[in-house]
Amino acid sequence: MQSFHLPRSAAFGQLETLARERILILDGAMGTQIQGLGLSEEDYAGHGAGCACRHHSDHPQKGNNDLLILTQPEAIEEIHFKYAMAGADIVETNTFSATTIAQADYGMESAVHDLNAEGARIVRRALDRATAIDGKPRFVAGAVGPTNRTASLSPDVNNPGYRAVTFDDLRMAYGQQIRALIEGGADIILVETIFDTLNAKAAIFACFEAFAEHGTRLPVMISGTITDASGRTLSGQTPTAFWHSVRHARPFTVGLNCALGAAAMRPHLAELAAVADTFTCAYPNAGLPNAFGQYDEGPEDTAAQIGDFAREGLVNVVGGCCGTTPDHIRAIADAIAPFPPRVVK
């Protein structure tokens, strides 16, 4: 089932060659850019005239950012294009919550296939436009989020043995997402913002199953998130333990994203970079959120800290998570440019 016998995709080889030459750039946040559009419930649901979205639900859709792939495709493509032109080599699909498990909150389970297939196609279109301008190769990363349920922990303090979701539930939901991402042309599968390693293991297993069906192995990027100051994931692992839990997947990159910003991420990234015998990837938030949940750290600040990651030889791929913008990505690309990529032992 591990599918290592399968031929690797063409993009896999290209990415590996590029990653040995230089530090690669991943894009930044979708949420901040989408907020800036000031969209209404009508805009999200796409009930207006001329809407192409054939999926409907009785739930309010405002806040269902993934649905904008189907209801506001031009706006989403434009955000991807801005990130590509800001210097991103790898751009993520807007599919963080595009599983039946996460879309259940919006009654939009039926849209999951279209969200992922179309989500990958939209990124590909944006990247092809950018490449037509400057000739640089770019790659579509199919974003696979953690879902809003955890397989390792009980959400009920009175019933510690209870689980809101099982490994097999996750494996099937992720499998549906990953197959559709591949169908839409994803070059990479990026399992991100992992707070529960068991959820990630289900996503990895689903990748292997999908690759076996597809007959080709795609590069997998795996990114955990350290949610507290003690330096552990929500399911209680140190960065070293996290690496040993996912290394069987032979990921293209392992790394960290989101959470506490670059300064707090640095020691955990250093620990991971010291143990992982694969490329590393770091894309922190733009600092810590303020009292209103907004991120105040400017492009130069974030870029200086990520520049330090590069100077210290800790990274092979860098980008931004919550609160980052195309200006952050442009500044990050400038900041890392003088430094060679981390050498994989």
**Binding-site residues, please?**
258, 321-322
Read off the amino acid at residue 225: T
Q: Which long-range contacts (CB under 8 A, 24 or more apart) does 267-272 make?
A: 267/231, 268/226, 268/231, 268/239, 269/239, 269/309, 269/314, 269/315, 270/312, 270/314, 271/231, 271/238, 271/239, 271/240, 272/239, 272/240, 272/242, 272/243
Under 8 Å between Cβ of 150 and 195: yes
Number of residues that bind Zn ion (CB under 5 A): 4
Residue 140 binds Zn ion (CB under 5 A): no
Question: At closest approach, how far in Å is the CB of 184 from Zn ion?
Answer: 23
Closer residue to Zn ion in complex, CB, 258/276 = 258
Among 84, 258, 265, 276, binds Zn ion (CB under 5 A): 258
Under 8 Å between Cβ of 138 and 130: yes
Distance CA 151, CA 138 (A): 34
Question: At closest approach, how far in Å is the CB of 139 from Zn ion?
Answer: 20
Question: At closest approach, how far in Å is the CB of 215 from Zn ion?
Answer: 34
Question: At closest approach, how far in Å is the CB of 4 from Zn ion?
Answer: 31
Site string for Zn ion, 293-332 (x = CB under 5 A): ----------------------------xx----------
Cα 344 to Cα 89, 164, 275, 298, 308: the distances in Å are 20, 39, 10, 31, 18
Considering only the stretches 73-81, 122-130, 171-179, 254-262, report the one whose residues sit in contact with Zn ion under the rule CB under 5 A.
Answer: 254-262
Q: Which residues are CB-contacts of 236 (< 8 A; sequence separation ≥ 6)?
A: none
Under 8 Å between Cβ of 212 and 6: yes
Residues 5-64 touching Zn ion, rule: CB under 5 A, are none
DSSP state of 59: S
Question: At closest approach, how far in Å is the CB of 28 from Zn ion?
Answer: 10
Closer residue to Zn ion in complex, CB, 130/258 = 258
Which residues are documented as binding site for Zn(2+)? Answer: 258, 321-322
Closer residue to Zn ion in complex, CB, 91/258 = 258
Write out the residues near Zn ion by the rule CB under 5 A. Answer: 258, 285, 321-322
